[in-house]
Structure 1
Amino acid sequence: MISTVVWGTGNVGRAAIRAVDAHPALELAAVLVHNPDKAGRDAGELGGLDHELGVAATDDIDTALAASPQAVVYAASGDIRPDGALADITRAIRAGAVVVTPALYALYDQRNAPPELREPVLAAIADGGGSLFVSGVDPGWGNDVLPLLISGLGTTIDVIRCQEIFDYTTYDQEDAVRYLVGMGQPMDYQPAMLATSVPTMVWGGQIRLMARALGVELDEIRETVARRPLEDTVSTAAMGEFAAGSQGAVRFEVQGVVEGEPRIVIEHVTRIHPSCAPDWPTPPDGDGAHRVIIEGRPRIEVTVEATDEGENRSAGGNATAVGRLVGAIDWLVAAAPGLYDALDVPLRPAVGKLGRKRP
């Protein structure tokens, strides 16, 4: 069994605890928490399971890494603390662990990552013999392996479009929803996630990754952003009221331009209520979906709806992203130490999971 640490117990960490517990090749060795109120609580409780796992959460990073775990699922956020996330991740790699994480956006396409990010990771790999695989939580497979797989079914291809469409009403990260994305803020407020160049910083690596796989040269990467106000005040159970006239919906694209035309596009359409911007793309039903559209001959459209933690589709997206990361651990442990991306790490069948019941 591969001893595995889950570092962080938010939206991603909860799903990671469940995924590690369910994986037939992995053993949950420790759960690291930042909040001292979570220290000592059982991992099963923190992971939303209906049984205990016999692993008490701890905030003692030194002790957890000193035990030489073979793998770390780094589930702490890197949105507002990228330097801290990088330091944590390189620390785990130096301890000899395989690390999987969504936290370092620029390493989605690790070959073209900036030297100031790539070089510390490579140095840690050389020192400790660990590995790193970064894949997105939005989810990564929806912006790399899925569209690339489907593209192989086409005769001719004009545009590859990857969409995330979500209503954030049930999303359990109020600071991110209100301040990073700007929901409920005045329309002249500048959300950090929508500032010029930030969408490219986050999703440009996946555009470059797909272009590399498809064998095409990008002229440039462009961004488009549109925002809509709420017509009426709406109330959410998790985050309270969002006032009429404040931002209620966002639509942006990160476009990979090939020979002057947008050919590889990652598009996000997010709302705080379904009444806002009803003319924009919507999910088939419920509060969210991921969609890949291949414009060409034939035209191909695939929509993926995942639910977890009840009927929560935001949690379902997190869970599938985590499934991609956790499912890569045993492959990475068997591979040579290194820095890997989605084109390196295969997406494999769920061997040993079908019908499997955990005690």
Structure 2
Amino acid sequence: MSKRSVIVWGTGPIGMPGLRHLIGHPEYELVGLHAWSPDKIGKDAGAIAGMDDTGVIATSDVNELLALEADCLVYQGNYAQREAKCIADVLPFLAAGTNCVTPALMDLVAPKYGRPEFVKPVEEACRKGGSSIFCGGTDPGYMTIGHLFSLLAGAGQIRSVKVAEMADLGKYAGLDSLAQYGFNQPLDYLPEMYTGETGRAWHESTLWAIGDYLGVQLDEITSSWETAALDNDVEAAFGTIKAGMTAAIRWTMIGMCKGEPLVIYRKIERLHPDAGPNFEQPLHGAEGAYQIVITGAPDIRTEMAMTLYDGCSITALHPINAINVICDAAPGIYGQLDLPIFYSKRVAR
């Protein structure tokens, strides 16, 4: 099979590892790169990624990229509070027949539960261009889709499914995303991620979808927000986190089924490893981890520990590994359950 031609859009904390893994990939050929930062436009993709030159020069000219008629767009833009802009970015490619994989367009992770104003234009563009799209998600993302599915394949009777994403984000450069969590605000401050439509849409849709995976209809989803502070100032990529101000958060969402908790989702974010000591902690001092506990017969308890960079890489690679199956799929929006099993075949030698 000839290599699939690929355009990359986005070179941020998640986009950069995605770009690095695509350069020199045995199954995909990088043919285009979109960048908006003036210090990246006009540079070779390899130089931007800290690798050897590729001959692919970064551009902000969308028409130039559309003219490449690539097989697939790998869209890795920041979706937080930019939903309409990000959807508008991908629509011309889908309408022109270029397929898309992305970790970013969170309303498409479980399109049945996505907000119609973002799902319907994508459906129409796919029909127009005969193209397909798959979103692996950011957080929630791989843990609540691919990773959870692999564990459910070995489960028996299920009483509850508990998933927790945790990360020490002290070195994370996605400052716009972090601002939505209320860091460095008073402990009783309820931030946009918790109170606003965006956060609820991303996270509630994940719980409703897990209920679907399990073949049940959840009754309701409850939500709570906890915060923790440090006794001293600390420095993070986000800035100086003042003593007594929010340095860690724990967001708990519970999907109820027949009066009992069935799906429990927790997000624990810290800007310092000492913040929120009573919140879930990764094993072995890792910067981040996915914890999944399936209670039933048998009980299944797992943790996937990782560095912050590896967590960003996994987020990028989940949809990237789906490029071939998406390019072969009939037009439309695909969730994980709609696709055959896909995985990396990139064996190092």
Does the 8 A contact of 1:186 with 1:246 survive in 2? yes
Does the 8 A contact of 2:221 with 2:256 survive in 1? yes
Write out per-residue CA displacement over residues 107-147 of structure 1, whole angstroms, 9 at most, x where no aligned residue: 21112333322221111111111111111122622012222
1:340 to 329, 334, 342: 334
Q: 1:293 to 1:324 in 2, by over 3 A?
A: same
Alignment of 1:253-332 (within 5 A): 253-284=252-283, 285-306=285-306, 313-332=307-326
Report the counterpart of residue 23 of structure 2 in structure 1: 21
Aligned partner letter, 2:251:
F
Report the Cα distance in structure 1 between the residues aligned to 2:140 and 2:23, rounded to whole angstroms.
21
Report the counterpart of residue 229 of structure 2 in structure 1: 229
Q: 1:194 to 1:155 in 2, by over 3 A?
A: same
Q: 1:171 to 1:147 in 2, by over 3 A?
A: same
Instruction: Give TM-score scaled by structure 2 length.
Output: 0.94
Write out per-residue CA displacement over residues 280-316 of structure 1, whole angstroms, 9 at most, x where no aligned residue: 110012221111111223221111123xxxxxx2221
Unaligned runs of 5+ in 1: 307-312
Report the Cα distance in structure 2 between the residues aligned to 1:30 and 1:343, rounded to whole angstroms.
30
The alpha-carbon deviation at position 176 of structure 1 amounts to 2.5
Report the Cα distance in structure 2 between the residues aligned to 1:137 and 1:190, rounded to whole angstroms.
22
Report the counterpart of residue 213 of structure 2 in structure 1: 213
Helix, strand or coil for the counterpart of 2:170? helix
Report the counterpart of residue 159 of structure 1 in structure 2: 160
Does the 8 A contact of 2:102 with 2:320 survive in 1? no
Unaligned runs of 5+ in 2: none
Write out per-residue CA displacement over residues 215-257 of structure 1, whole angstroms, 9 at most, x where no aligned residue: 1111122211111122211123x34421101101100122221
Report the Cα distance in structure 1 between the residues aligned to 2:162 and 2:25, rounded to whole angstroms.
32
Report the Cα distance in structure 1 between the residues aligned to 2:209 and 2:312, rounded to whole angstroms.
21
Write out per-residue CA displacement over residues 25-68 of structure 1, whole angstroms, 9 at most, x where no aligned residue: 1100111011122101121222243x222211111111111221
Helix, strand or coil for the counterpart of 2:182? coil
* Range that drifts further, 204-213 or 79-88: 204-213
Helix, strand or coil for the counterpart of 1:193? helix
Q: 1:349 to 1:176 in 2, by over 3 A?
A: closer
Instruction: Give TM-score scaled by structure 1 length.
Output: 0.91
The alpha-carbon deviation at position 82 of structure 1 amounts to 0.7
Report the Cα distance in structure 2 between the residues aligned to 1:195 and 1:161, rounded to whole angstroms.
23
Does the 8 A contact of 2:325 with 2:342 survive in 1? no
Report the Cα distance in structure 2 between the residues aligned to 1:347 and 1:294, rounded to whole angstroms.
22
Report the counterpart of residue 200 of structure 2 in structure 1: 200
Report the Cα distance in structure 2 between the residues aligned to 1:262 and 1:45, rounded to whole angstroms.
50
Q: 1:239 to 1:200 in 2, by over 3 A?
A: closer
The alpha-carbon deviation at position 274 of structure 1 amounts to 1.7
Alignment of 1:67-216 (within 5 A): 67-138=68-139, 140-177=141-178, 179-195=179-195, 198-216=198-216
The alpha-carbon deviation at position 187 of structure 1 amounts to 2.9
Percent of counterpart pairs with the same letter? 31
Aligned partner letter, 2:77:
A
The alpha-carbon deviation at position 334 of structure 1 amounts to 1.2
Report the Cα distance in structure 2 between the residues aligned to 1:99 and 1:281, rounded to whole angstroms.
35
Does the 8 A contact of 2:321 with 2:343 survive in 1? no
Report the counterpart of residue 348 of structure 2 in structure 1: 355
Number of corresponding residues: 346
Helix, strand or coil for the counterpart of 1:11? coil
The 4+ residue runs of structure 1 with deviation greater than 6 A are none
Aligned partner letter, 2:304:
V
Report the Cα distance in structure 1 between the residues aligned to 2:300 and 2:50, rounded to whole angstroms.
37
Does the 8 A contact of 1:14 with 1:48 survive in 2? no
Aligned partner letter, 2:308:
S
Report the Cα distance in structure 2 between the residues aligned to 1:276 and 1:114, rounded to whole angstroms.
34
Write out per-residue CA displacement over residues 132-168 of structure 1, whole angstroms, 9 at most, x where no aligned residue: 1111122622012222321232332211111111111
Q: 1:296 to 1:221 in 2, by over 3 A?
A: same
Does the 8 A contact of 2:140 with 2:206 survive in 1? no
Helix, strand or coil for the counterpart of 1:100? strand
* Range that drifts further, 102-111 or 322-331: 102-111
Helix, strand or coil for the counterpart of 2:88? helix
Report the Cα distance in structure 1 between the residues aligned to 2:343 and 2:83, rounded to whole angstroms.
32
Aligned partner letter, 1:271:
R
Helix, strand or coil for the counterpart of 1:41? coil
